[in-house]
């Protein structure tokens, strides 16, 4: 999906493999023309704990730039 977004000449931010909520995913973010961020992801596996990578995160699934 990441390659298809780039081929469409859309600016992307590849977050890569990450854990969010109860899922381990490979994520890419893209902004629509109004500046709204959208995530495209493939879930790779379940995570044992909620948001196990950063238990102090204030917002799950938000891109870090």
More confidently predicted of 37 and 51: 37
Beta bridge partners of 20: 23
Encoded tokens for 24: 């381990």
32-43, pLDDT tens digit by residue? 888 888 988 888
Report the pLDDT value the prediction gives residue 29, as an integer from 0 to 100. 92
Instruction: Enter the pTM of the model.
Output: 0.61
Q: What percent of the chain has pLDDT over 70?
A: 77
Angle at 41 between CA 29 and CA 20, to 5 degrees: 90
pLDDT score, position 45: 86
More confident residue, 65 or 50: 50
Length, in residues, of the chain: 65
């Amino acid at each position: 999906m990441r390659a298809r977004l780039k081929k469409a000449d859309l600016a992307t931010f590849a977050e890569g493999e990450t854990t969010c909520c109860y899922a381990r995913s490979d994520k890419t973010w893209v902004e629509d023309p109004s500046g709204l961020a959208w995530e495209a992801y493939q879930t790779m596996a379940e995570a044992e704990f909620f948001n196990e990578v950063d238990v102090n995160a204030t917002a799950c699934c938000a891109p870090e730039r």
